[in-house]
Structure 1
Amino acid sequence: MKESYSTPPIAQHIWDTKYRHYEHGVALDTCVEDTWQRVAKALAVPEKNPDDWQARFYSILRDFKFLPGGRIQAGAGTAHQVTLFNCFVMGMIADSMDGIFDALKEGALTMQQGGGVGYDFSTLRPRGVPAASVGSVASGPVSFMRIWDSMCATILSTGARRGAMMGTLRCDHPDIEEFIAAKQDRSQLRHFNVSVLVSDAFMAAISRDEDWLLVFPANESEAGGELLMRAWPGCDDPVPCKVYKRIRARTLWQKIMQANYDYAEPGMLFIDRINRLNNLYYCETIQATNPCGEVPLPSYGACNLGSINLTQFVRDPFTVQAWLDFDAIGATAATAVRLLDNVIDVSHFPLTRQAEQAHRSRRIGLGLSGLADALIMLQIRYGSSEAVQIAQQVMQRICHAAYQASIELAREKGAFPLFHKEKYLAGAFVRTLPESIRSGIAQYGIRNSHLTAIAPAGTISLLANNVSSGLEPVFGSDYTRRVLNRDGCYADYAVTDYAVALWRKDHVSDDFPPAFVTAHELAPAEHLRMQAAIQPYVDQAISKTINVPVDYDFAAFFDLYRQAYDLGLKGCTTFRPNAVTGEILHKPDVEHVVPHCCGLEREPD
């Protein structure tokens, strides 16, 4: 790689093992510029003037200004039969042995081509329910999740990346307590991230200290028991559901909170809010997300991600004149929308239904990375009121530039097939857009149903000289990062934060920028404030970890997810170091512990 780019050893490792183009063991990308040109050329193919667009795409890829999702960087312009989409939500799992293993096969085929997968296991009958056709009893959704976990463990995806999975379960499923406790054993479900689908009704029951009913659709052969009508995945209308258990809502909440405090999972997805704010509320229902939670998707939906690296738009860093070039950010966002839209047309898909879903909705997920480092370069403390304001302004500019670009694309190439003007404009999120954008949608349609999402961007941020990842604060000035080699073994690399490295070029080596603050020095409420600040401009969701100190009081922790709900977030994930999940990042000379399930090799980038 050339001296001007990715000089840190870990960046070279990431490029070489994950994104560099090899054919039969021979490296065809000699430097990262070759990778940028390969990607730009491949994604310009659908254009009428491909040479022109190749140059434009290269201009935003150059210097890591725009970071496409890892599957794009690894696969675009190669002969490999891989998907360029980071992750998928799979189809509904039919509650039968055939249905379960058909779904397992689809997941295996998807992960084989490099895609992470998300599944909702709520359709599987609870443990102990009779399976009349074979004269046995059901073993429950958690038992079948273990089969997925074993399958995932055997599949090594493109490069040095193992398949990532998200598993969800409704908060009213009879096996929800088993699901909550499933990962408390360090040998169980280590390839899954898990989240509870939390409904508005559950949150209301907690507030009112009411009973909460655990239910499942009634089998016609079952007699007796209390029944109620309930909407259920895979059913067009509410169906009779049998009540299996009554539990105090606050008791169930306590179990979720204690599991989070002790084991960092399960996370929460506020599923009613997700569906209420879905731009395609009128033609789909969402029950799951991609593995890191930033893209809620319908069955066979796919996430097509990219992040704008904000560090490349800070002018005069570390000076009193430091400023952020919003116009350049907006122009980059517009070009990135076109690049990501073209991904849909050139990508392979593991399954036909995934291709159909992607082409019908043309979802993309444009986000940001390097925010924390950009704030340091602007001499603004992460979590401060000024940081909240800057984050809002940046995400607003990205969102509005992306929607405007998608309108122009629709004018040129046509709207996405599922577009329905009146219903789309009536959507809760779309109603918040400026009138000029809404008028443009009314006149020309829009090319992409969804446009913004905040991915963790961990691996691609390392590639870009270790800029802070996604929305996250800086982990530390200097630390050790564990990554996966091509041979399946782990290696440790010393890493220096991008802003710190830039500062040290002109300052004493053991000195830090004035605004430097780490994730562990921030209060959990400051993490939440930053996530809540940009959610109004994210039409999908945000992958964000709320770091919690080991000695943080449980009484204070108990209310964090309620705060997240009240702040209007679509989901929340906390992480408090513990003996089971440990951490993948650690300071130099600190003893290693078991890596967290969402390590770099399984991030959706």
Structure 2
Amino acid sequence: MNDLYFTTPIARHVWETKYRYRKDSVVYDATISDSWRRIASTLAAGESNREDWQARFYDILHNFKFLPGGRIQAGVGTAHKVTLFNCFVMGTIPDAMEGIFDALKEGALTMQQGGGVGYDFSTLRPRGTQAYGVGSIASGPVSFMHVWDSMCATVLSTGARRGAMMGALRCDHPDIEEFIAAKQDRTQLRHFNISVLVSDDLMTAVNKDENWLLVFPVGEQVMDGEVLMRDWSSCGQPVPCKVYKRVRARELWEKIMRATFDYAEPGVLFIDRINQLNNLYYCERIHATNPCGEVPLPPCGACNLGSINLTQFICAPFSEQAHLDMKGISAATRIAVRLLDNVIDVSNFPLPSQAMQVHSSRRIGLGITGLADVLIMLNIPYGSKASLQMAQSVMQTICHTAYQASIDIAREKGPFPSFDQEKYLAGTFVRSLPCSVRQDIARYGIRNSHLTAIAPAGTISLLANNISSGLEPVFDSDYTRRVLGLDGNYSEYQVVDYAVAFWRSREVSKSLPPAFINAYQLSPTDHLQMQAAIQPYVDQAISKTINVPTDYDFVAFRNLYQQAYELGLKGCTAFRPNPVTGTILSKIEQEQTAPHCCNLEREAD
């Protein structure tokens, strides 16, 4: 098969194994153009001017200008019984055996249809406490995470991919220290990303060198010992909690930082900030995220993702006149918002509760990919002040355009059902929007509660001929990439970065562009500053891995997370190569040993 849109063999492999529509022996998508037509026609079917919107949808899909989430590309317009949502945060796990295994079943059904899952395990009582109903002793949340891990290893999700999971635990749960150490054995919980839900109170206690209380709700039984009132996961109001242990806040923080430094996990989620900045603060409480952390969600919430491919909007690359077509990016954004909004109405849902939650908020997560390649083609070094300004300008354009586009759809189709004009406009993030946007929300409402998120976009970026993924820097100029096939076996491809390949096609040499820089040539602070530069224009969150050299000083590493908090980020993830997670011997191993967020088999593409 010859397809002019694929300039790299790995891109064709990704399409054929993940996104090309075939059923049994019948192949429906002869070319990638057929895939684009399938997506465009299905998502335009409900529009009154169907042909017009079909043409517009096809135009932004064409040549990979807009990359819908992988589940959309694989499932829309097919006969497969799958969900079009990349990931879900599952419902609250009841603290009872029957409820726990009901939750496990719901997770398996969700993963079977292609959705990754996120969980807050904080509702499960700590190890060693009495399970009063049967007189047995509780084994704690980490023990049940192993059950989920085994389930995930068994369930083969749609196509050439396996399910991804996020496990989160409150920083004041009595088993938090066990949770922090849970992945220090390389054989355990390999299907999980794990993150600690870090509260503002913990950060304050760390700064003041105070004690930190580990607590858990009392429940119906009478408890001896100290009891205090505390907000808790799944509880609508403060509940009595028993104090199980006092630790020094700095010692707990040190354990989190040491584990992350030595084992690359857990990540941290600044959960109070997530809730304070949630546009739906008035009707939901968030306790977990999707597996890669870019979409904080309430129980039963889902990710509806897509990325604007910035490499398709660069004019005169590598020349003195090189610039981004911001008008083109804005125009594509408006169409992409409508495309993603229509996904909600045609998708299957593994569970009725998920359908209800998704339809009530109509969240979408529009982001970017190819940023690092665009910077190279603009001759702007990643991490420089100019690169931060460029990234911020792009995200500001996408954010404000997306909100206006959602308002326009609301004028036509109505706002999302949970919209409360007064409370929505009082939200912290919404108050940061331009006055004209807020005035239009007041007048017409808005179709989608949330509109922006930065996903890893690893697999779809490979599909788009190996562009740099998300807002990450280029991994390297030339390397070997290993990808999973439909038969469960791996194939290896020699790949060249998109911008480098473009440069070499002009220079007829193996040289590197003047502004080329790879992930490990950047300082960890450079990574952090890029994430912080665009967070003000992302109403959800950002998936970003901070690459840390092996010989990086631990004190400086620990300060990175403090900086992340002070810079207003919603979470932080770092990867430092080390003997525990794998000695780095080659570029291919370096890519594949990164255990948090950036492994393609872990990404819910």
Q: Under a length normalisation based on structure 2, what TM-score does the superposition of the two structures give? A: 0.98
Q: Is 1:343 paired with 2:343?
A: yes
Q: CA deviation at 1:592?
A: 9.1
Q: Is the 8 A contact 2:82 2:113 kept in 1?
A: yes
In the aligned structure 1, how far is the partner of 2:129 from the partner of 2:543?
Answer: 36
In the aligned structure 1, how far is the partner of 2:455 from the partner of 2:436?
Answer: 28
Q: Could you give the per-residue CA deviations for residues 312-359 of structure 1, whole angstroms, max 9, x where no partner exists? A: 001000001000110000000000000000000000000001011111
Instruction: Trace 1:108-257 onto structure 2 (pairs within 5 A).
Output: 108-257=108-257
Q: Which residue of 1 aligns with 2:446?
A: 446
Q: Is the 8 A contact 2:3 2:32 kept in 1?
A: no
Q: Is 1:263 paired with 2:263?
A: yes
Q: CA deviation at 1:256?
A: 0.4
Q: Which runs of 5+ in 2 are unaligned?
A: none
In the aligned structure 2, how far is the partner of 1:8 from the partner of 1:310?
Answer: 18
In the aligned structure 1, how far is the partner of 2:516 from the partner of 2:508?
Answer: 15
Q: Is the 8 A contact 2:223 2:242 kept in 1?
A: no
Q: Is the 8 A contact 2:196 2:266 kept in 1?
A: yes
Q: Which residue of 2 aligns with 1:576?
A: 576
In the aligned structure 1, how far is the partner of 2:140 from the partner of 2:212?
Answer: 20
Q: CA deviation at 1:583?
A: 9.0
Aligned CA RMSD, in angstroms, stands at: 1.4
Q: CA deviation at 1:491?
A: 2.1
Q: Could you give the per-residue CA deviations for residues 192-244 of structure 1, whole angstroms, max 9, x where no partner exists? A: 00000000000000000000000000144343211111001121211111111
Q: Which residue of 1 aligns with 2:369?
A: 369
C-alpha change, 1:30 and 1:144, in structure 2 (3 Å) is same
Q: Is the 8 A contact 1:72 1:84 kept in 2?
A: yes
Secondary structure of 1:229's aligned partner? strand
Q: Is 1:407 paired with 2:407?
A: yes
Q: Which residue of 2 aligns with 1:98?
A: 98
Q: Which residue of 1 aligns with 2:78?
A: 78
Identity of aligned residues (%): 72
Q: Which residue of 2 aligns with 1:596?
A: 595
In the aligned structure 2, how far is the partner of 1:483 from the partner of 1:355?
Answer: 32
In the aligned structure 1, how far is the partner of 2:370 from the partner of 2:586?
Answer: 20
Q: CA deviation at 1:509?
A: 2.5
Q: CA deviation at 1:575?
A: 0.5
Q: Which amino acid aligns with 2:249?
A: A
In the aligned structure 1, how far is the partner of 2:154 from the partner of 2:509?
Answer: 44
Q: List structure 1 segments (4+ residues) > 3 angstroms apart after TM superposition.
A: 579-586, 590-595
Q: CA deviation at 1:506?
A: 1.1
Q: CA deviation at 1:508?
A: 4.0
Q: CA deviation at 1:586?
A: 4.8
In the aligned structure 1, how far is the partner of 2:162 from the partner of 2:262?
Answer: 26
Q: Is the 8 A contact 1:480 1:586 kept in 2?
A: no
Q: Could you give the per-residue CA deviations for residues 346-401 of structure 1, whole angstroms, max 9, x where no partner exists? A: 00000001011111100000000000000000000001000000000000000001
Secondary structure of 1:360's aligned partner? helix
In the aligned structure 2, how far is the partner of 1:478 from the partner of 1:178?
Answer: 40
In the aligned structure 1, how far is the partner of 2:398 from the partner of 2:255?
Answer: 39
Q: Which runs of 5+ in 1 are unaligned?
A: none
C-alpha change, 1:473 and 1:594, in structure 2 (3 Å) is closer
Q: Could you give the per-residue CA deviations for residues 248-292 of structure 1, whole angstroms, max 9, x where no partner exists? A: 000000000000000100000000000000000000000000000
Moved more, 499-508 or 136-145: 499-508
Instruction: Trace 1:60-79 onto structure 2 (pairs within 5 A).
Output: 60-79=60-79
C-alpha change, 1:585 and 1:273, in structure 2 (3 Å) is farther
Q: Is the 8 A contact 2:479 2:494 kept in 1?
A: yes
Secondary structure of 1:516's aligned partner? coil
Q: Which residue of 2 aligns with 1:507?
A: 507
What is the number of residues matched between the two proteins? 604
Q: Is the 8 A contact 2:578 2:584 kept in 1?
A: no
Q: Which residue of 1 aligns with 2:354?
A: 354
Q: Is 1:427 paired with 2:431?
A: no
Q: CA deviation at 1:155?
A: 0.9
Q: CA deviation at 1:550?
A: 0.8
Secondary structure of 1:232's aligned partner? coil
Secondary structure of 2:183's aligned partner? helix
Q: CA deviation at 1:591?
A: 8.9
Secondary structure of 1:251's aligned partner? helix
C-alpha change, 1:583 and 1:410, in structure 2 (3 Å) is farther
In the aligned structure 2, how far is the partner of 1:414 from the partner of 1:137?
Answer: 52
In the aligned structure 2, how far is the partner of 1:586 from the partner of 1:28?
Answer: 39
Q: Which amino acid aligns with 1:293?
A: G
In the aligned structure 2, how far is the partner of 1:347 from the partner of 1:592?
Answer: 33
In the aligned structure 2, how far is the partner of 1:327 from the partner of 1:559?
Answer: 39
